């Protein structure tokens, strides 16, 4: 009969620890396994595909359990953390053989999505954890990469800025205190970001050191919270954490998350991966550190012209000196991930092979310094000075660590011969002891006449002499003391063997113990050099990124841009670098982008698929490349320094907020109109297509006029509303451009070349033909098009078919042809077209009067949209 099991001391211990970490999977160490119990086991078995068993099977309520081998636990932990869970690792805190009663256990580390160390697969990616607090004045945001020690902090005014920064960091975990409102944490959860709570705690000495340069109290608070959380979860030395660096997003070229996404800087829109992005094109780095720094530079292009020019000068120097650049690359290939190696040193998780990698990396530094010193000019001098070889560490590792060190640091074989006299003595005893045992075995065989006699060893019985039972009579019972009986043999010891065994085993145990102590001492010495090693890592990463720029410039024929202060923009034969790489240089058609200081808006017309969006994106990418210090894809380029880039490209609903495509369009447009300056770059691609034709046309014209009269930013505006091209007659800063296309035998041929002036037609039906639309449909579309062009207004036309009469409503959508002989649409003309039929109702007339009196030029797009919606409801 089943009975209820009394809770054992082990389960009492487990439940007590679990109560402290209710939101984490508890990996509870039992011998050679980590076990999971109860709900952890049920859920863990499903996620990790483990066999679910039970403990106390005969009880009424058996305890579900599953386990993983301790040597393979890291893979299972990584799976859980990558899925957004936390894992608390519980270890045995004392030797079970020496424990009195229950073995003491405790959590030694809490692994979370934000504190997971990077793996080889994502070596060029940072894993940031972010902390957030909210004061009356603003938000404080801090972030860190635990594996590299990087720490930054800033203050932000609005929640939109907070989300933009968090999304740009691609953080997987945000640590909040009680001041952060629920609306923010709920949105973070919807975005798939883990939210962890960390109450404000008294400032510790370690935290004070890391925040000593901060003067803003909000920054001090959020930085302290972040370090407090890291200390609480990691439960070990965090000596590699660098002092917080305060930054202001506005001191870099500002782009919101949507702009970065639309421009595909680091993530391909279709696949979500790196391939097909600007980062993919630029990444010729040889080190993991360089790869991470390249991504950081792309995320934060510079505004300071002098710094940009310094980077350009180094790129030019490397570009002009091929053989020296090749030597630099050969050295960088041998440089391992110093930042993360240093992190493991501080963490105490570094092993002998890691230190050999550290030594190999440091040995490349003198070679790099030597090569850089041979290059002409003074531009490489500061970089040479930053390349500190930290020779003390190299010499220490060469002297102390075995080149063939095993992965484990507790089983011997890590320390070099000659490093420690005591260790050498132990090793001599072990070496000579083995020789002595071989000689003893030969002697015993000769004395006893037993050729099969052998000397062996196991951990339980130590050294022994093994003899088959058939030969036992030949042994002297006075000398041979029985130790173990086997089926077919007996094992014995002798006084001589006992004496030598004590010496050998003592040497083995003490040798292993001493080796680990010596390794820890070496590790602690290296730990004192952490700041120098981190500075070196930064210098190596910078050199790596700059040589990558030189390789890309040479491979893809990039040129060095120059900068101007007069808002003049002149790009000759500009190319979209990623599209060009995919298509091949011979198939890509370059285009000029020329905007004089007084030319703020370029209105672009042309058919779909002709390259308008590519043309607009290529300008943004050229600007970003120039402001990170790279050369650019053109035959010549003169650029102003831009402070912000705004884009409205593509059509997609916002699934998080539930906004429609048109609302997303208006929100992004409004963001640009509110925050852009004359030094900004705005890219609007077919703005207004998400609503009815005349609404969209009216808003598009109003936005163009607003940008022209109030913002004065460099703006590229592509549209299918051909009527808008007439604005060039009224707006002096607007210039018409169109993408060339020719029609041959009814087929459309794109030339992908930008030409002055407006397009003469939209070729919408031709594009439909290219898409493979049925011929009958295309014929019908031409009939409707001719009717519309002749009427000049929207109408309803009919056509007789064999079976029925088909009525076709000809509301003109954003991608349909619009007659090109119309003038720019004024506010009053839009309303007359919308309500062309006579109005007899006085209430309708009142609405029309209100509509006519609206001053669209003084309204934001969102205000206009809301007003139109209200009037529509009245009608």
Contact of 705 with 858, CB cutoff 8 Å: no
| 208 in a known ligand binding site | no
Task: Return phi, psi of residue 804, to 5°.
Answer: -160, 175
The rounded distance, in Å, linking the Cα atoms of 559 and 444 is 83
Question: 3: Cβ–Cβ under 8 A, 6 or more apart, which residues?
Answer: 58, 59, 60
Alpha helix stretches (DSSP H) within 486-529 = 495-527
| 413 in a known ligand binding site | no
Overall residue count recorded for the chain in this entry? 875
> Beta partners for 647?
683
Contact of 583 with 722, CB cutoff 8 Å: no
Q: In what order do the strands lie in the sheet with 481-485?
A: 454-458, 462-468, 489-493, 481-485
Strands (E), 58-118: 63-69, 86-92, 105-111
| 608 in a known ligand binding site | yes
| 842 in a known ligand binding site | no
Element (H, E) at 134: strand 128-134
Task: Return phi, psi of residue 721, to 5°.
Answer: -80, 90
Element (H, E) at 395: helix 391-400
CA nearest to 243, candidates 115, 336, 153: 153
Element (H, E) at 424: helix 421-448
| 611 in a known ligand binding site | yes
Composition of the chain by helix, strand, coil, percent to 5: 45, 20, 35
How is 326-377 classified by DSSP, letter by letter?
HHHHHHHTT---HHHHHHHHHHT---HHHHHHHHHHHTTHHHHHHHHHHSSS
The rounded distance, in Å, linking the Cα atoms of 611 and 324 is 40
- For 108, the token pair is 């030694």
| 853 in a known ligand binding site | no
- For 64, the token pair is 């579900």
How is 142-160 classified by DSSP, letter by letter?
EEEETTTTEEEEEEESSHH
SS3 275: coil
CA dihedral for 191, 254, 249, 301, sign (positive or negative): positive
Question: 341: Cβ–Cβ under 8 A, 6 or more apart, which residues?
Answer: 350, 354, 357, 358, 361
632 Ramachandran zone, left/alpha/beta (phi>0; psi -120 to 50): beta
| 433 in a known ligand binding site | no
CA nearest to 27, candidates 40, 36, 18: 36
Q: Using a CB cutoff of 8 Å and minimum separation of 24, what contacts does 122-127 make? A: 123/288, 123/291, 123/337, 123/340, 124/283, 124/285, 124/288, 124/291, 124/292, 124/295, 125/292, 125/295, 126/150, 126/292, 126/295, 126/296, 127/172
CA nearest to 742, candidates 752, 728, 733, 732: 752
| 680 in a known ligand binding site | no
The rounded distance, in Å, linking the Cα atoms of 388 and 382 is 11
- For 93, the token pair is 């805190």
SS3 769: helix
The rounded distance, in Å, linking the Cα atoms of 195 and 188 is 7
Contact of 110 with 86, CB cutoff 8 Å: yes
Binding residues for ATP: 606-613
Binding residues: 606-613
């Amino acid at each position: 009969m089943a009975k209820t099991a009394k809770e054992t001391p082990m389960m009492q211990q487990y439940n007590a620890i679990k109560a402290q970490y209710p939101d984490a999977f508890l990996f509870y160490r039992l011998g050679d396994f980590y076990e999971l119990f109860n709900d952890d086991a049920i859920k863990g078995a499903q996620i990790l595909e483990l066999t679910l068993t039970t403990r106390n099977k005969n009880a009424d309520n058996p305890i579900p359990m599953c386990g993983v081998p301790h040597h393979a636990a890291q893979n299972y932990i990584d799976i859980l953390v990558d899925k957004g869970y936390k894992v608390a690792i519980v270890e045995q805190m004392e030797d079970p053989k020496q424990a009195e009663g229950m073995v003491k256990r405790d959590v030694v580390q809490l692994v979370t999505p934000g504190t997971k160390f990077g793996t080889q697969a994502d070596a060029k990616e940072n894993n940031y954890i972010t902390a957030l607090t909210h004061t009356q004045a603003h938000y404080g945001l801090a972030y860190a990469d635990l594996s590299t020690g990087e720490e930054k902090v800033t203050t932000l005014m609005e929640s939109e800025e907070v989300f933009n920064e968090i999304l740009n960091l691609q953080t997987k975990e945000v640590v909040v205190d009680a001041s952060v409102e629920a609306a923010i944490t709920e949105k973070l959860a919807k975005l798939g970001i883990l939210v962890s709570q960390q109450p404000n705690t008294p400032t510790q000495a370690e935290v004070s050191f890391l925040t000593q340069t901060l003067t803003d109290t909000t920054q001090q608070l959020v930085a302290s919270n972040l370090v407090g959380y890291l200390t609480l979860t990691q439960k070990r030395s965090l000596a590699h954490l660098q002092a917080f660096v305060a930054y202001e997003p506005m001191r870099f070229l500002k782009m919101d998350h949507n702009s970065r996404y639309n421009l595909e800087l680091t993530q391909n829109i279709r696949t979500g991966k790196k391939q097909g992005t600007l980062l993919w094109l630029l990444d010729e780095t040889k080190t993991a550190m360089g790869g991470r720094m390249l991504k950081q530079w792309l995320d934060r292009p510079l505004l300071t012209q002098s710094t940009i020019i310094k980077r350009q000068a180094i790129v030019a120097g490397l570009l002009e000196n091929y053989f020296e650049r090749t030597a630099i690359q050969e050295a960088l290939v041998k440089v391992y991930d110093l930042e993360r190696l240093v992190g493991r040193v501080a963490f105490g998780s570094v092993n002998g092979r890691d230190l050999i990698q550290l030594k190999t990396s440091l040995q490349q530094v003198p070679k790099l310094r030597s090569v850089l010193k041979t290059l002409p000019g003074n531009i490489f001098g500061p970089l040479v000075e930053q390349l500190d070889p930290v020779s003390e560490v190299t010499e220490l590792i060469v002297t102390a660590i075995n080149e063939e060190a095993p992965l484990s640091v507790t089983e011997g074989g890590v320390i070099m011969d000659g490093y420690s006299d005591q260790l050498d003595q132990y090793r001599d005893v072990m070496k000579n002891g083995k020789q002595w045992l071989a000689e003893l075995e030969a002697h015993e065989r000769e004395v006893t006449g037993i050729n099969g006699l052998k000397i062996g060893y196991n951990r339980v019985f130590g050294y022994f002499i093994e003899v088959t039972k058939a030969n036992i009579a030949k042994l002297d019972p006075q000398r041979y003391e029985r130790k173990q009986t086997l089926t077919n043999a007996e094992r014995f010891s002798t006084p001589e063997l006992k004496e030598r065994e004590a010496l050998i085993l003592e040497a083995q145990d003490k040798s292993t113990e001493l080796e680990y102590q010596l390794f820890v001492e070496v590790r602690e010495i290296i730990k004192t050099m952490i700041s120098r090693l981190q500075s070196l890592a930064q210098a190596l990463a910078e050199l790596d990124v700059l040589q990558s720029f030189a390789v890309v410039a040479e491979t893809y024929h990039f040129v060095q841009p120059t900068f101007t202060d007069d808002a003049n923009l002149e790009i000759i034969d500009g190319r979209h670098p990623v599209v060009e790489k995919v298509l091949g240089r011979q198939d890509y058609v370059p285009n000029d982008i020329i905007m004089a200081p007084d030319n703020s808006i370029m209105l672009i017309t042309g058919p779909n698929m002709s390259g308008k969006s590519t043309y607009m994106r290529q300008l943004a990418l050229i600007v970003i490349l120039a402001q990170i210090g790279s050369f650019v894809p053109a035959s010549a380029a003169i650029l102003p320094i831009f402070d912000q880039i705004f884009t409205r490209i593509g059509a997609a609903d916002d699934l998080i907020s539930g906004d429609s495509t048109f609302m997303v369009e208006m929100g992004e447009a409004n963001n640009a109109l509110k925050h852009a300056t004359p030094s900004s770059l705005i890219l609007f691609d077919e703005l207004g297509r998400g609503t009815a034709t005349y609404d969209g046309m009216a808003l598009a014209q109003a936005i163009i006029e607003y940008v022209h009269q109030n913002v004065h930013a460099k703006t590229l505006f592509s549209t299918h509303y051909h009527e808008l091209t007439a604005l060039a007659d009224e707006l002096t800063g607007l210039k018409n451009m169109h993408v060339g296309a020719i029609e041959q035998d009814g087929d459309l041929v794109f030339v992908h070349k930008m030409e002055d002036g407006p397009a003469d037609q939209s070729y919408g039906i031709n594009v439909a033909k290219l898409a493979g639309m049925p011929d009958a449909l295309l014929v019908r579309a031409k009939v409707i098009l001719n009717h519309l062009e002749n009427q000049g207004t929207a109408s309803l036309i009919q056509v007789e078919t064999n079976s029925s009469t088909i009525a076709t409503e000809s509301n003109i959508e954003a991608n349909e042809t619009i007659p090109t002989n119309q003038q720019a649409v004024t506010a009053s003309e839009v309303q007359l077209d919308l309500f062309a039929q006579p109005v007899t109702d006085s209430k309708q007339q009142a609405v029309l009067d209100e509509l006519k009196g609206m001053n669209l030029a003084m309204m934001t797009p969102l205000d206009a949209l809301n007003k139109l919606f209200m009037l529509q409801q009245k009608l």
